[in-house]
């Protein structure tokens, strides 16, 4: 591993690209803010999932697979979840309704990110499994004079932290200028934020020293990162929109509770995403979920393979804004169509691809190098293993589906039997054959033979 390039990362905290030095090479620790599970993830949510998956893969390459811990949380307590549970399951007790919403959304998020080629993080803690850890941090903050109780809430006292605002470079006076003083009359300063709030009888709640209540959003990430990665860890990531207030407040909580100078050494943020040149919004009609892109004809009148969505995302550097459009997706598809299918082996990735990624995840240059390698591999099969290892480093390995001849013959026979059923107008039985094949991952496509005009069926293995 001594031959690996020096990893450089842009640190939002210092606004400069720095040489990355892990606290412990044996256990490099990365935390990324995960989804609030009340609705399908949109394509903007896919960006951090993909970007930090590339970082995770790169860290595993440089430090070894078993020497990286990647934690991404699941926010399963939130007022948006309560509202969705009441809307979708009005007859059920709230806790049951909430569980249905969060379990369904969490499963969908897992399916979406898997289809986008993302590895599972090492740990995916749920907020509701970490309430005791949150209470413990809040107790520490109160004991150290950084938090206070007012009007049924426990609030962080921003004035108690001399250097609050380092990440976003905001100062408290700027924040006060825009705050709604009347609404926040119980706060010592307008920038103070909620750590804990009391729950009404019909809201989810947990017993605490301050009564039955629920945590604020920011405290969740301080508790979960602390539990799984320690008081100080290597890299914290998320979208640009999280810098303020979410990440600023995570830093305030963790540093003041643990008495440390930093929470994470490097803070990384991915840029904004637009769809077809406009900010994504339901009223603009350009709001699109990952599921819709993969499974429906919402964008461009067709479905898109996960690998095409992933490549389209990585064709822009993660810190730049991105315009997600049909044109871009078509461009990604044309590119990937020229790449050879290959098996992941144990070859080392190409030095140029690795060097580009090591330079603050320059996926744009890495993809150029990968494409050159693909062209070389198309002409010379001995280059295939290096191409495969390089594509895998980006999570973009075009899979080769190997099937036994006997299995292929068996599927052909079943497809032929279905055609006979269709000819005999036995549609119910024909549908049964089609559904059984689909359940095994075989997708049928009906069409006509161009020469004879006869009905034919082709099939493919769905990835």
* Chain residues in the site for Zn ion (CB under 5 A): 33, 221
Q: Which 8-state DSSP code applies to residue 126?
A: B
With respect to Zn ion, which residue has the nearer C-beta, 197 or 236? 236
With respect to Zn ion, which residue has the nearer C-beta, 101 or 221? 221
Residues 316/322, Cβ–Cβ less than 8 Å: yes
Q: What is the CA radius of gyration of the chain?
A: 25
If 0-12 CB within 10 Å is exposed, 13-18 middle and 19+ buried, where does residue 434 land?
buried
Residues 67/27, Cβ–Cβ less than 8 Å: yes
With respect to Zn ion, which residue has the nearer C-beta, 158 or 253? 253
| Burial track 65-75 (b if 16+ CB lie within 10 A, e otherwise) | eebbbbbbbbb
Q: Which ranges of 320-404 does DSSP label H, i.e. alpha helix?
A: 326-337, 351-358, 363-379, 384-393
Distances from the Cα of 276 to the Cα of 130, 155, 417, angstroms:
39, 41, 45
With respect to Zn ion, which residue has the nearer C-beta, 117 or 239? 239
User: Roughly how many angstroms between the first and final C-alpha of the chain, as a whole number?
Assistant: 33
With respect to Zn ion, which residue has the nearer C-beta, 109 or 339? 109
Residues 6+ apart with CB under 8 A from 17: 8, 9, 10, 11, 360
With respect to Zn ion, which residue has the nearer C-beta, 269 or 418? 269
Q: Residue 29 CB, nearest distance to Zn ion (Å)?
A: 15
Q: Residue 222 CB, nearest distance to Zn ion (Å)?
A: 8
Residues 141/256, Cβ–Cβ less than 8 Å: yes
With respect to Zn ion, which residue has the nearer C-beta, 47 or 414? 47
| Strand-pair category, 322-324 with 442-448 | unpaired
With respect to Zn ion, which residue has the nearer C-beta, 235 or 384? 235
Distances from the Cα of 14 to the Cα of 11, 23, 111, 169, 267, angstroms:
6, 18, 36, 10, 9
With respect to Zn ion, which residue has the nearer C-beta, 7 or 221? 221
Q: Residue 26 CB, nearest distance to Zn ion (Å)?
A: 25
Q: Residue 75 CB, nearest distance to Zn ion (Å)?
A: 8
Residues 292/311, Cβ–Cβ less than 8 Å: no
Q: Which 8-state DSSP code applies to residue 36?
A: B
Q: Residue 221 CB, nearest distance to Zn ion (Å)?
A: 3
Q: Residue 357 CB, nearest distance to Zn ion (Å)?
A: 25
Q: Residue 250 CB, nearest distance to Zn ion (Å)?
A: 6
Q: Residue 237 CB, nearest distance to Zn ion (Å)?
A: 10
Other CB atoms within 10 Å distance of the CB of residue 290: 25
Q: Residue 405 CB, nearest distance to Zn ion (Å)?
A: 51
Q: Residue 132 CB, nearest distance to Zn ion (Å)?
A: 19
What is the per-residue DSSP string for 200-224? PTTS--B--TT-SEEE-HHHHHHHH
Q: Residue 224 CB, nearest distance to Zn ion (Å)?
A: 8
Q: Residue 246 CB, nearest distance to Zn ion (Å)?
A: 5
With respect to Zn ion, which residue has the nearer C-beta, 241 or 297? 241
Other CB atoms within 10 Å distance of the CB of residue 26: 10
CA distance 293 to 97: 28
Residues 66/24, Cβ–Cβ less than 8 Å: no
| Cα 300–chain centre separation | 23
Distances from the Cα of 51 to the Cα of 108, 190, 367, angstroms:
19, 34, 14
With respect to Zn ion, which residue has the nearer C-beta, 37 or 221? 221
CA distance 137 to 129: 15
With respect to Zn ion, which residue has the nearer C-beta, 176 or 260? 260
């Amino acid at each position: 591993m001594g031959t690996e390039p020096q990893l450089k990362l842009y640190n939002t905290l210092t606004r400069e690209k720095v040489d990355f030095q892990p606290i412990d090479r044996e256990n490099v620790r990365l935390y990324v803010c995960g989804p609030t599970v009340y609705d399908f993830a949109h394509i903007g949510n896919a960006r951090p999932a993909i970007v930090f998956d590339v970082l995770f893969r790169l860290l595993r390459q440089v430090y070894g697979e078993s020497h990286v811990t990647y934690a991404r949380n699941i926010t399963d307590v939130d007022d948006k979840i309560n509202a969705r549970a009441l809307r979708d399951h009005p007859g059920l007790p709230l806790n049951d309704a909430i569980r249905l919403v969060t379990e369904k959304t969490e499963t969908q998020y897992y399916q979406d990110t898997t289809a986008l080629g993302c590895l599972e993080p090492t740990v995916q803690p749920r907020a509701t499994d970490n309430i005791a850890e949150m209470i413990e941090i809040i107790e520490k903050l109160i004991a150290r004079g950084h938090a206070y109780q007012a009007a049924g809430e426990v609030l962080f006292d921003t004035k108690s932290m001399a250097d609050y605002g380092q990440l976003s470079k905001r100062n408290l006076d700027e924040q006060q200028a825009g705050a709604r003083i009347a609404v926040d009359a119980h706060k010592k300063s307008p920038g103070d934020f909620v750590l804990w709030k009391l729950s009404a009888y019909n809201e989810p709640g947990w017993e605490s020293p301050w009564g039955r209540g629920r945590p604020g959003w920011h405290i969740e990430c301080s508790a979960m990162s602390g539990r799984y990665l320690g008081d100080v860890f290597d890299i914290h990531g998320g979208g640009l929109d999280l810098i303020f207030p979410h990440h600023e407040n995570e830093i305030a909580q963790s540093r003041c509770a643990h008495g440390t100078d930093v929470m994470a050494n490097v803070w990384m943020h991915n840029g904004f995403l637009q769809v077809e040149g406009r900010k994504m919004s339901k009223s603009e009609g350009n709001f699109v979920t990952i599921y819709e892109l993969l499974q429906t004809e919402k964008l461009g009148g067709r479905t898109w393979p996960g690998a095409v969505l992933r490549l389209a995302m990585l064709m822009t550097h993660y810190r730049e804004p991105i315009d997600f459009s049909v044109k871009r997706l078509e461009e990604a598809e044309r590119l990937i169509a020229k790449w050879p299918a290959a098996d992941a082996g144990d070859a080392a990735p190409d030095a140029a691809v690795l060097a580009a990624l090591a330079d603050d995840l320059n996926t744009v240059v890495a993809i150029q190098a990968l494409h050159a390698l693909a062209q070389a591999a198309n002409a010379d099969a001995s280059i295939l293993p290096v191409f495969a290892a390089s594509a895998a480093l980006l999570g973009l390995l075009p899979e080769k589906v190997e099937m036994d001849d006997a299995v292929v013959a068996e599927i052909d026979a079943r497809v032929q039997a279905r055609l006979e059923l269709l000819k005999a107008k036995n549609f119910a039985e024909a549908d049964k054959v089609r559904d059984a094949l689909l359940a095994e991952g075989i997708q049928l496509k009906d069409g006509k033979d161009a020469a004879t005009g006869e009905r034919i069926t082709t099939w493919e293995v769905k990835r």
